[in-house]
Structure 1
Amino acid sequence: MLLAAMVIFPGLTPAKALGGLGLVSVAIRFAFKEIFENFFAGIMLLWKYPFEKGDFIECESIMGKVEDISVRMTQIRRPYSELVETPNSFLFKNLVRVLTDSDFKRLTIMTGLAYSEDANESLQIVEIALTTCNTVNQDLPIEVFLNGFGDSSIVIEVIWWTDPTPLGQRKSRGKVVGAIKRALDQAGIKIPFPCRTMTFKEPLRIHQIKESSPTE
C-alpha cells in the first residue's frame, strides 16, 4: 500500500508516509479514547456490581435512580424526572454514594427547647413522639440527646432510621417534625424562636402625635 501511494504521488517519500500514518494513528487514538474508556468502565461496573438497576446513587452533582446500565452509558432518573445519560468513565473515576445500599437510612434533625423547660422531661416526650410515626423503624435505635446551648434555646439532637430512598427520607422527616411539634405543644413545652434585645446608649425620645377632632 505504501509503495502504491509513492507511485501515485511521486513527491511522497517513505519518511513522509510513515510520519503521516503516525499522525493518523494518534488522531484515531484520541478520537476513540473516550469510547474505549467508557466501554472498559462499563465492563468493570457490570462485573463488580457497585450498584444495580433500581438503586439510588449520587455522584458529584448527579443524584437519582439507576434505570439502565450499558457498556458505555448509565441512565439515571433524577428526582424531578429528568433522565441523565452518564458516561461510565465518569462514574468509574469519581466517588459514587449508593443511597440504597442498605434497607434503612439514618436521619438526624435538630430542635430547640426553651431554657425554662425541664430538659429530661422534654427528651422523653420527643422520644415517645417518634414511636408514633409509621415511617420510623422501631426495630432500630431511636436516639434523643441534648446537643448544646443555642442562642435562644437548648439544642436537642434527634436520630432515627427510615426508608433510604429520597422520597422516603422526605416523608419521614416531615412526619417526625410534625409529631415532635404536636407532642411538645400538648405538653405545654415551648419551642423558642430567636429573640434580640436592643440596648440604646441614650433613652429614646417618644413623640406623641396629637389626634385631630372630626370637626377640625
Structure 2
Amino acid sequence: MTDFFDQIWAFLPGPMRTQLEGYVTGFWKVLPQIVMALIFLIVVWLIAKLVRWAIPRLMARARFRRALIDVAVMVATVAIWLFGVLIAATIAFPTITVGKIFTAAGVGGLAIAFAAKDTLENFFAGLMLLIREPFSKGDFIDCEGFEGQVEDITIRETHVRQTDGQVVVAPNSMFFKNPVTILTAGELRRTTVICGVAYGEDVDKARTIIEDAVKAVDSVRDDIKDVQIFAQEFGASSINFEVTWWTGSTPLDIRQSRDAVVSAVKRALDDAGIEIPFPYRTLTFKEPLPIRTAPGEQMPQAAE
C-alpha cells in the first residue's frame, strides 16, 4: 500500500507536490488551534444547553406566555451560537478577525434582509405581539374581515379558528399593522335588535312590555348594565324600537342571548295583544279594474 502511494506521489508534477506539502505543513501548524476551537465550541454547546434549561424555568415563574418563552430561548440560543462560532473561527484562524467577519456578514446580511423582507417583518411583528400582548390565546378577535378565536400565536403567524370551524393562518404583520377588534376584551358585550309594533298600538305600553320581557331572560345581565329600550323611528309599517342589553362577550353568547330575547319579546307582545306587523301594501290604479269571475261563481256583494 505504501509503494502504491509512493508511486502516485512520484507521478505528480513537482509544483503540485510542493503545493500539497505546503497544505499538509500548514494543517499541522493550525491543528492545535483547530483543536482549541473545537473545545471552545463544546463549551458553547454546554452554555446553550444550560440557557435552554434555565430560561423557561425563570420566565415561567414570572408567568410569561409559552410562546414568548420559546422566542426568548430561540433568540438566546442563536445569539450564543453566533458569537461562539465567530470566536471559534478567530481561535482556529488568527488571521481572521471579528471585524472582518462582521464586515462580510454585514454585506451578506443586507442581501438576505432584502430577500427575506416579509419573513423578517412577520418575525418582528410576532415578537412585538408576544411582548405587548394586545390579545392572547382564547380571545375572539376581528381583523380585516376574519373573525374567530385565537388558537395559537407563533413567532411568524397567528392561527384563528372562525365560527364556522375553518382555521385562518394569517401573518403577524396583518395584526400588527391593522386595527384588531378584541371581542372578548371584557366579560360583557352589548347587543341590539330592532322590534316593531303597529301604528295603532300604545307606544309607552309596548315599551314597558318589551323591557319586562328582556329583563326576564337569564342571559341578560341587567344586574350589571341597564336594559335600554328606545323608540327609534317611524318605519314603513311600524314604530321601531331599538332593544339593547348586555350579555356574555363570545359570539355564541351573543347568538344564544338574541335567540332568547327575540322569543321572549314575541311571546310577551302576543300575550298582550300587541301587533308586530308585517309590511302592508296599498295599490292604487289610475283606472278602474274589471273584476272577472270564474264560470259558476257569483260576484261578491258589497257590504251595505
TM-score (norm 1): 0.84
Greater radius of gyration (CA)? 2
State the 1:28 CA deviation. 3.1
**Does residue 126 of structure 2 align to residue 39 of structure 1?**
no
- Residue of 187, 191, 208 corresponding to 2:293: 208
Find out whether 1:84 has 2:168 as its counterpart: yes
| Paired residue type of 1:206 | I
- One-letter amino acid of the counterpart of residue 168, structure 1: D
Q: Within 1, Cα distance between the matches of 2:265 and 2:175?
A: 39
Gap regions ≥5 residues in structure 1: 1-22
Distance, in Å, in 2 between the alignment partners of 1:70 and 1:35 is 13
Amino acid at match of 1:209: A
Amino acid of the residue matched to residue 248 of structure 2? D
Q: CA deviation at 1:107?
A: 0.6
Distance in 1 between residues matched to 2:293 and 2:184, nearest whole Å: 66
Q: Distance in 1 between matches of 2:110 and 2:282?
A: 72
Measure the CA separation in 1 of the matches of 2:270 and 2:249.
30
Deviations 1:92-120 (A, max 9, x none): 11110000001101011111011111110
- Distance in 1 between residues matched to 2:128 and 2:163, nearest whole Å: 26
- SS of the aligned residue for 1:177 comes to helix
Shift of 1:27: 5.7
Alpha-carbon offset, residue 31 of structure 1:
2.4
Letter in 1 for 2:166: E
* Bigger Cα displacement from structure 2, 130-139 vs 117-126: 130-139
In structure 1, which of residues 170, 182, 189 is the aligned counterpart of residue 274 of structure 2?
Answer: 189
Amino acid paired to 1:183: A
**Structure 2 CA distance, aligned partners of 1:193 and 1:37?**
54
Q: Give the alignment partner of residue 166 of structure 1, picking from 240, 248, 251.
A: 251
TM-superposed deviation, 1:24:
8.0
How many Å separate the matches in 1 of 2:114 and 2:173?
A: 15
- What amino acid is the match of 1:170? R
1:12-31 equivalences in 2 (<5 Å): 28-31=112-115
- The answer to which structure has the higher helix fraction is 2
- Give the whole-Å Cα distance in 2 for the aligned partners of 1:198 and 1:27: 74
What secondary structure is seen at the aligned counterpart in 2 of 1:115?
coil
Compute the displacement of 1:85 (Å).
Answer: 1.3
CA distance in 2, matches of 1:129, 1:31: 62
| Partner of residue 206 from structure 2, selected from 105, 122, 125 | 122
| Equivalent residue, structure 1, for 2:145 | 61
Q: How much has 1:80 moved relative to structure 2? A: 1.3
User: CA separation in 1, counterparts of 2:111 and 2:283?
Assistant: 71
Q: CA deviation at 1:176?
A: 0.5
The equivalent position to 1:97 in structure 2, one of 181, 192, 208, is: 181
Bigger RCO (CA 8 Å, 6+ sep): 1
Aligned residues: 191
The one of 226, 229, 237 aligned to 1:141: 226
Is 1:74–2:148 an aligned residue pair?
A: no
SS at match of 1:192: coil
Query: 2:265 aligned with 1:180, yes or no?
Result: yes
Given that 2:191 and 2:246 are in contact with CA atoms closer than 8 Å, whether structure 1 keeps it comes out as: yes
Structure with the higher strand share, 1 or 2: 1
Alpha-carbon separation, structure 1, partners of 2:277 and 2:295: 38
What is the TM-score normalised by the length of structure 2? Answer: 0.60
Mapped to 2, the partners of 1:47 and 1:127 lie a distance apart of 45
How far apart are 1:132 and its partner, in Å? 1.4
- Stretches of structure 2 lacking an aligned partner (at least 5 in a row): 1-106, 298-304
AA of the residue aligned to 1:63: E
Q: One-letter code of the match for 2:169?
A: E
